[in-house]
Chain A
Amino acid sequence: MTKVNLRISFEMDKSAKVKHIISKILAYTFLILMAALCLFFFYILIVNSTKDKSELIGAYTPTFGTSFFKNFWNALTSPGNSYLDIPLGLLNSFIVASLTAVVTTYFSALTAYAVHAYDFKGKTFVATFVLAIMMIPSQVTSLGFIRIAYELQLTNYLFMLILPTIAAPSVYFYMLQYLKATLPLDLVEASRMDGSSEFMTFNRIVLPIMKPALAVQAIFSFVQSWNNYYMPSLLLKDSSKHTLPIMLGLLRSQQESQADAGQVWMVILISILPVVLVYLVLSKSIIKGVTSGSVKG
């Protein structure tokens, strides 16, 4: 009796194993395909950046060219385009994007903390009002902002790109949700009892706990600001203030005969590098369970 049972269970085991293997193969194939699809564009980008102008115009082959360093040099010096200074654009973009990331995350966290930790009159109104702002597309509000900028003659300043990003309702909302989930108010009270002022509590206790959320939002706002073409194109007239997306736009809008496609591809390649770098640096801070062990119950 037992022997028969064992055999049956063994056979069942076998078929279950086969099923398991097949489903794994299917899953991995799908995942590999999707990954390849994502990486394909990067591959094309890298390949294209190694090709000469003529190679890019003619019949296309997805193989590496030989003009990588020439393109690189052209990208940095932009010969024939005196109004283009790619390294300066890189610097401008980096200043704007990194400061944007810092002020957006810091002030959003500060706002969210206020709404989360304090009881004040009109708190619910403030919270809903900020959410309501989220419904208005940024293009609508930007019109008013640009008018103000022109009236005050504050165009051509990089900080005018950074200033409005302090108010970021969606980031605030994310921070609020994160705080609700991770910050017990006991911690704030403990810090108060320990003798710290409210700001010190925020900077020394709350911010470190919010690190994962800060990292996520910093990445998002950095990338968003880095890729932003709309606002800089409206505000920045002086070529020395241009950010990378504007320079890229100018480069692309040249006449077909003049344009050096290899150079354009190289600039695109350069422009995505800082984003990758920032992601690699900040993703280390996205650690799970930072608050575990602080409070119980």
Chain B
Amino acid sequence: MADVKLVDVKKVYPYVERKAKSKKEAQEIEKKKTNLQITEEGVVAVQKFNLEIKDGEFVVLVGPSGCGKSTTLRMIAGLETITEGELFIGGQLVNSVEPKDRNIAMVFQSYALYPHMTVYKNMAYSLKIRKASFRNEKDPEKLRLYDVAVAALGKVASAQSYISSDKIEIKDCQKIIKKAKGNAEIIARATSRIESSKEDLAKQIALLEASKAEAKAANGIYVEYCKKVVLDAQTALDNKRASGATEEALKPLEDALCEAKAPAVVTRHLTKEEIDKKVKEAAKILDISDYLGRLPKNLSGGQRQRVAIGRAIVRNPKVLLMDEPLSNLDAKLRNQMRAELIKLREKINATFVYVTHDQIEAMTLGDRIVVMKDGFIQQIGTPQEVFDHPKNLFVSEFIGTPQMNYFDAKLIHSKGKYFVNYGTLEVELSPDKQERLAALKVAEQDVTLGVRPDHLTIAKAPLVKKGEAAEDEKGCKESKGFIVGKVEVSELMGTSYHLHLVVAGRDVIAIVPNAGGSANYVGKQLDFIFDGCCAHVFSKETGKNLEFAD
């Protein structure tokens, strides 16, 4: 297990301008260009990505296609280089560490099973080629000194990797300046980047020297300690032998000497038995023990998916990455596998990073969800937070099915309280929303009002008459009016109806419970109300939720 930290990560692909052969093609390229974020460096796929994934956490990256979620995952895996920013796994900077040395596993969307190997061999492959380290727990002091020495070496490596990335940055900026053709703005930006890189470079070089000395010292202490332990054991043995002890009495001391000579950590290939045990364990967790002898082509889609997951978990990776693992399965199997993934999480110890475009998967699987769009993070939060308090229009639209309904409404601030006003309907916002809006001193303005379909309820007419003030003695719904909509389509989903309405020219969906019997809604004019806690107010200009500051 390990934590993953991404700091200001950015990914830029080189942009290769294609020459247009015809007018039509030129238009298409122009169209593409407007969709892409092209800067002087190239096409920006991911930027300003800051995320801290805790040890053992399940984080889901979700967003529409092309939002950079897969690119981010591949950067964590090491399959894509990181253009800018830093990536830490388990506290160690791994920007320039090869994927094979990061000790992370990945499940691919396409499964990517080795076609010529049986399920068993597919799972055993990574165990066979990797060396595993075994810690010698018998001498904790030696182990501690060893860890200190290794940590010092890690500092050296980290400094070296900073230095190399700084050097690359300087080179890149110099290239940009060359290409800039005298564009003052670009040159200024690149020069400032060079300056800061140079500053950092000097700092890191100093750090490198210091950490090198530290590593040398730590290594010296470790070696010294090892020598001492061996010497002590040897002298004890020699003394005993000199005193004329029998062979039998010498035996424990000889064993002690052997132990003293053993290194703190042994790195070796796993034996066949160890591999066999691990593969069978993983197979048991995933319920694929019966297929171990089969080739991937003789498996069904769900079984292949299990094997792909098995291959990933068999070596207990620190981080398990999943790139839309369920999107190739049919709906029923997907639901089943989703439940199994939740169960799997309890059985294995790993940090999960999961990429999907399916918001249901995101909601059900994740401890935290990262909603992305156009390479930017839109919101990070628990599924509940993201669902209840979407930070902007995009998040509110993307999370939740059917999607949120929007109305053109007004935010009214009177007598120290906030109301939303839609036509004749006026709803007081819930206290927590009041608080947040008041804290930000939000002014009265036109807003986009968002209400989820589940939160639109049919007013049991005539609870209050249209246009009259709400003086209902129960006081549960303080509405002065209704949203009036005509039902165009009514879909029976089982426990509920999805009603497609037209409200003032906008399409609106409302979910009403199925009370049994044959309710016929189509063509009817219905009055709807909603609760103050479920009304989301978004700025008309920026699309941001007015409850949040940034």
CB neighbours (8 Å) of A254 from chain B are: none
CB neighbours (8 Å) of A191 from chain B are: 114, 125
CB neighbours (8 Å) of A297 from chain B are: 109-110, 328
Shortest Cβ distance from residue A277 to the other chain B in the assembled complex, whole angstroms: 25
Are the CB atoms of A197 and B100 closer together than 8 Å? yes
Among candidates A187, A193, A293, residue contacting B104 with C-beta atoms closer than 8 Å:
A193
Are the CB atoms of B126 and A295 closer together than 8 Å? no
A 172-207 binary contact with B (CB < 8 Å = 1; else 0): 000000000000101101111111110010001100
Are the CB atoms of B129 and A294 closer together than 8 Å? no
Q: Does B386 touch A at the CB level, under 8 Å? A: no
Among candidates A184, A194, A291, residue contacting B129 with C-beta atoms closer than 8 Å:
A194
A 8-45 binary contact with B (CB < 8 Å = 1; else 0): 00000000000000000000000000000000000000
Contacting A at CB under 8 A, from B103-117, are 104-106, 108-116
Q: How far is the CA of A13 from the CA of B126 in the complex (A)?
A: 61
Shortest Cβ distance from residue B12 to the other chain A in the assembled complex, whole angstroms: 15
Q: Does B304 touch A at the CB level, under 8 Å? A: yes
Are the CB atoms of A194 and B113 closer together than 8 Å? no
Closest to A186 in B: B112
With A192-B100, A200-B129: A295-B111 Cβ-Cβ less than 8 Å: yes
Contacting A at CB under 8 A, from B293-308, are 295-299, 301, 304
Shortest Cβ distance from residue A96 to the other chain B in the assembled complex, whole angstroms: 30
The count of A-to-B residue pairs whose CB atoms sit within 8 angstroms is 92
B 49-68 binary contact with A (CB < 8 Å = 1; else 0): 00000000000000000000
With A184-B110, A189-B108: A291-B115 Cβ-Cβ less than 8 Å: yes
CB neighbours (8 Å) of B111 from chain A are: 294-296
Q: Does B79 touch A at the CB level, under 8 Å? A: yes
Shortest Cβ distance from residue B340 to the other chain A in the assembled complex, whole angstroms: 18
Contacting B at CB under 8 A, from A199-252, are 200, 204-205, 208-209, 211
Are the CB atoms of A293 and B100 closer together than 8 Å? no
Are the CB atoms of B115 and A190 closer together than 8 Å? no
With A209-B115, A295-B111: A195-B129 Cβ-Cβ less than 8 Å: yes
With A186-B110, A189-B112, A205-B114: A292-B105 Cβ-Cβ less than 8 Å: no
With A186-B108, A189-B79: A294-B100 Cβ-Cβ less than 8 Å: no
Best-surrounded residue of A191, A204, A293, A296 (most CB of chain B within 10 A) = A296
CB neighbours (8 Å) of A131 from chain B are: none
Closest to B305 in A: A296
CB neighbours (8 Å) of B108 from chain A are: 186, 189-190, 295
Are the CB atoms of B116 and A193 closer together than 8 Å? no
CB neighbours (8 Å) of A184 from chain B are: 110, 112
Among candidates A194, A289, A293, residue contacting B125 with C-beta atoms closer than 8 Å:
A194
Q: How far is the CA of A289 from the CA of B295 in the complex (A)?
A: 12
Number of interface residues of A (CB under 8 A): 27
Q: How far is the CA of A187 from the CA of B78 in the complex (A)?
A: 15
A 259-297 binary contact with B (CB < 8 Å = 1; else 0): 000000000000000000000000000000111111111
CB neighbours (8 Å) of B110 from chain A are: 184, 186, 295-297
CB neighbours (8 Å) of B299 from chain A are: 293
Shortest Cβ distance from residue A192 to the other chain B in the assembled complex, whole angstroms: 5
Are the CB atoms of A192 and B126 closer together than 8 Å? no
Best-surrounded residue of B99, B115, B126 (most CB of chain A within 10 A) = B115
Q: Does B93 touch A at the CB level, under 8 Å? A: no
Q: How far is the CA of A189 from the CA of B113 in the complex (A)?
A: 11
Shortest Cβ distance from residue B175 to the other chain A in the assembled complex, whole angstroms: 14
CB neighbours (8 Å) of B114 from chain A are: 187, 190-191, 205, 294
Closest to A193 in B: B106
Q: How far is the CA of A294 from the CA of B121 in the complex (A)?
A: 13
CB neighbours (8 Å) of A290 from chain B are: 115-116
Q: How far is the CA of A293 from the CA of B106 in the complex (A)?
A: 18
CB neighbours (8 Å) of A194 from chain B are: 100, 105, 125-126, 129-130, 311
Are the CB atoms of B328 and A296 closer together than 8 Å? yes
Q: How far is the CA of A295 from the CA of B129 in the complex (A)?
A: 22
CB neighbours (8 Å) of B328 from chain A are: 296-297
Are the CB atoms of B100 and A195 closer together than 8 Å? yes
Q: How far is the CA of A186 from the CA of B104 in the complex (A)?
A: 16
Q: Does B275 touch A at the CB level, under 8 Å? A: no
Q: Does B77 touch A at the CB level, under 8 Å? A: yes
Give chain A's interface residues, CB within 8 Å of chain B. Answer: 184, 186-187, 189-197, 200, 204-205, 208-209, 211, 289-297
3 smallest beta-carbon distances between A and B, as pairs? A293-B297, A294-B115, A194-B126
